[in-house]
Structure 1
Amino acid sequence: MTTKINDGETSRTEFSHDGIMARTLGAGPPLFLFHSLLSDSASFDTIAPQLAEQFKVIIPDLPGFGGSVATAGSLEEVADRMASFVHSVAPNGDAILFGNGYGAFVALQIAIRHPALVASLILAGSGARFSEPGRDAFRGMAAAGRSKGLAAIADTAMARLFAPEFQAAHPDLMADRRAAFLRTDVAVFEAACLSLAALDQSAQLPALDLPVLMMVGEQDAATPPPMARELASLVPNAVLQILPGCAHVPPLQAPDLVIEAISLFLGKTFGKPSGAAHIA
C-alpha cells in the first residue's frame, strides 16, 4: 500500500513492505533512518526535511514499533528482516544507513551480514559491545518491563535518552517522547534488551569494508563515548565525532550538529546548520 501525503511544504509517501511501515521524502540516493529502542521514527522529524534536500529519505518503523509487524527472535533476525526491506527499496548496493541507538546496532548488523546492500554507515550511539554494567542495565530493564510494565521504567528510559538539563528545558518534548516509549510493545522491548545485553560484534568489525561515521553525544549514558571509540578503532575506515552537550538522541538534541556531521561525511550541503561537531 502506498499513500502520498502533502503537509504544507513537505510531501511524503507512506508505504509498507513485508509488514514494515515506512515513509519517504525527497529524491536522490537512498538514505535510511533507523530509530532507537527507547524512541520511534518521529525522532528524525527535526532532520529529515533537510536531508531530503539531497537524498531520498526512508524512515521505517522498526519491527514491533509503530505500524510495523514484530519479528520474533534476535537482533540478527531483526537485521535480516530490515535487510530485506532495504533491498526492496534500494537493491543496487547504494543504501546509506543512519541508525540511532538500537537502530544503529540494527544498521551495523545489516552491514555485517549483508554487505552488498550498504554503501556507507552513519551510527549515532552504538558500539562493538556493552560493558558488564551496561549489559546488567539491559537485563534489569527487560525484567522490570516484563514484570511491572514500561511505565515503571519510563523515568529510567528518559534518563538514558536525555541529559537532565535538556529534560528540564524541554518539558513538552519529554512528554511526547515518554508517550512514544510507553507505546512500545513490551515483548519487543524485552527481546531487544536481551539481544543487546548478549551482543559482541568486536570480531566482525575489522572486516567491514565501507566508510563509517561514528557519532556519540559527550553526555550519552546509554552508549557512552568509550564504546564509540572502541568501535571506531575496530573499523578500518571509520571517523569518530563527539557531539558536545548531547546525550543519546542527537537528531532531537543537536539537529544542526548532526546535519553538519553528515554533510562533512557525505560531502553534501543541507540548509544552513549552525555549530560544529568535535572530531576526536
Structure 2
Amino acid sequence: MDRLLANGTVNAAQSGEGPPLFLFHSLLSDRASFDAIVPELEGSFRTIVPELPGFGRSRAVGGGLIVVADRMAEAVKEAAGRAPAIVLGNGYGGFVALQMAIRHPEIASKLVLADCGAAFSEPGREAFRNMAMVSRQKGLEAITDVAMRRLFAPEFQERHPELMRDRREAFLRTDPDVFRSACDALASLDLRPELAAVKVPALVLVGEHDEATPPPMSHELAAGLPRAELKVIPGCAHVPQLQSPRQFLGALKGFLL
C-alpha cells in the first residue's frame, strides 16, 4: 500500500505490522531494490519503503543532501509517530540516513548503513564529478554501463541478464537533474567530523567487492561512530540485498530485534 508523507511530498510503500522499519534506496537504483527482502521483514516490522526526493512520485528538493535529509526526517516522523524507528539506507540512501541521524538525533533508535561511508576519497569524488559531467553532456544513457558496474560485478551481470535489464531501465527512469545534484553533493560530502554525534546503535554493512563505496569507507565509518558494528558480506558488491538477499537478511539478524 502506498501512502504520501511529509505534506504529500514523499511517496512510500508500507506493509506488515510491528515497529517501523524504513528502507532508503541507493542513487543508482530505486525502491524495488528491496523487493527481495521486504516479504521477510514485514513479518516482524511495519516496513516503509519511500522513494527518496526526486525519485518516482516523491517531489524533488533543492539545496543538497541536508535538505533531502530534512525532508526524509519529516516523512519518518510522520510515519513512525512516537514509535522508535529503525532506518536502513543503502548507498546514497545510507548517506541520507546518516545525515538525517546527525541533524535529527531523536529520529532513529537504530541505523543500518549498507555500502556507504562518511566521505569519499579523491578518486571517488572524481568519479561522481565525471558521471555528472557526462550525463549533462550526453544523457544518462551514456553512463548506464558505468552505473551498472558500480552496482554489480561483471560476472554477476552476465549470470542475471533479466535482473540487469530491469536495473538498467530503473536507472534510466531517474530524473537527470536529481541525479546530477546528488553526484555533486556526494563529491563534496564529509560527515566525519560529525559522526560522534550519532549515539544510537549502528550496523555498518558492506559488500566485499563494492566498487562504488569500497570497504575502507565502511571501516572508517564504523570506526568513527560511537556504537557501531561492522560486517562484510562475502561475494557481494554495492547492493547486496539484491545480489544475495539471504546473506543480507542473515547479516541483519541479531541487530534488528
TM-score normalized by the length of structure 2 = 0.98
**1:153 positional shift:** 0.2
Matches within 5 A, 1:68-107: 68-92=58-82, 94-107=84-97
Q: Is contact 2:20-2:83 (8 Å) kept?
A: no
User: In the alignment, does 2:204 pair up with 1:214?
Assistant: yes
Question: 1:186 is matched with which residue?
Answer: 176
**1:19 positional shift:** 1.5
Shifted more, 251-260 versus 215-224: the winner is: 251-260
Matches within 5 A, 1:131-280: 131-267=121-257
In 2: Cα distance, 1:200 partner to 1:65 partner: 24
Q: Which runs of 4+ in 1 moved over 2 A?
A: none
Matches within 5 A, 1:89-128: 89-92=79-82, 94-128=84-118
Q: Is contact 1:212-1:239 (8 Å) kept?
A: yes
- Aligned match for 1:40, one of 26, 30, 45: 30
What is the DSSP-based 3-state SS (H/G/I as helix, E as strand, rest coil) of the residue aligned with 1:103?
helix
Structure 1 or 2: more strand by fraction: 1
Q: Which amino acid aligns with 1:15?
A: R
What is the DSSP-based 3-state SS (H/G/I as helix, E as strand, rest coil) of the residue aligned with 2:217?
helix
User: Cα RMSD (Å) of the superposition?
Assistant: 0.8
In 2: Cα distance, 1:230 partner to 1:92 partner: 32
Q: Which amino acid aligns with 2:81?
A: P
User: In the alignment, does 2:4 pair up with 1:16?
Assistant: yes
User: In the alignment, does 2:17 pair up with 1:27?
Assistant: yes
Cα deviation 1:12-36 (Å, max 9, x = unaligned)? x211123211110100000000000
Q: Is contact 1:154-1:178 (8 Å) kept?
A: yes
Unaligned runs of 5+ in 1: 1-12, 268-280
**1:93 positional shift:** 5.5
Question: 1:63 is matched with which residue?
Answer: 53
In 2: Cα distance, 1:225 partner to 1:94 partner: 29
In 2: Cα distance, 1:265 partner to 1:226 partner: 22
- Aligned match for 1:129, one of 119, 123, 127: 119
Q: Is contact 1:93-1:117 (8 Å) kept?
A: no
In 2: Cα distance, 1:250 partner to 1:265 partner: 17
What is the DSSP-based 3-state SS (H/G/I as helix, E as strand, rest coil) of the residue aligned with 1:265?
coil
Q: Is contact 1:93-1:119 (8 Å) kept?
A: no
Q: Which amino acid aligns with 1:14?
A: D
Q: Percent identity?
A: 57
In 1: Cα distance, 2:174 partner to 2:76 partner: 23
In 1: Cα distance, 2:120 partner to 2:83 partner: 30
Q: Which amino acid aligns with 1:131?
A: S
**1:265 positional shift:** 1.3
TM-score normalized by the length of structure 1 = 0.90
Q: How many residues are aligned here?
A: 255
Q: Which amino acid aligns with 2:120?
A: F
Unaligned runs of 5+ in 2: none
Q: Is contact 2:240-2:248 (8 Å) kept?
A: yes
